[in-house]
Amino acid sequence: MSLRILYRRIPRDKRICNYYGCQRRILRNIDRDKEGRIYHHGCLMAAQDEHFRCLDCYRTFDATEGSFETVQVQRQDEFREKLIMICPNCGSHNLKRLSPFGGSNSHVQV
């Protein structure tokens, strides 16, 4: 199926990029992963380059495979919804971002 068809199939307000760092409406350069979730082409490339390891079940996955959970965070006086990534295998939040350059042990900040 041509990607062009996606523009007609998916209503404009549902055409939201699935990359957690983006979440913006897709007006052009639509692309999709093997699960059929839609992204901007550039966001899909970025997501596939981001690798994570679950520290509970040791599964590794990229950002297109991760699952997300919405949590409420309080910032000053307002509550905002924030997406956090969870392991697609066991649902743990205990993830580590794998740096392509090796080294960094930073925890996942989404």
* Distance of closest approach, residue 33 Cβ to Zn ion, in angstroms: 12
43 binds Zn ion (CB under 5 A): yes
- Residue 7 backbone phi and psi in degrees, to 5: -65, -35
Question: Scanning the structure block, which residue is given the tokens 């068809």?
Answer: 5
92 binds Zn ion (CB under 5 A): yes
Q: Which is nearer to Zn ion, 28 or 75 (CB)?
A: 28
* Closest of 65, 86, 82, 66 to residue 74, by C-alpha: 82
Which of residues 27, 57, 73, 83 is near Zn ion by CB under 5 A?
Answer: 57
| Upper half-sphere CA count for residue 53 (Cβ side, 13 Å) | 9
Question: Scanning the structure block, which residue is given the tokens 């924030």?
Answer: 82
47 binds Zn ion (CB under 5 A): no
83 binds Zn ion (CB under 5 A): no
* Distance of closest approach, residue 14 Cβ to Zn ion, in angstroms: 14
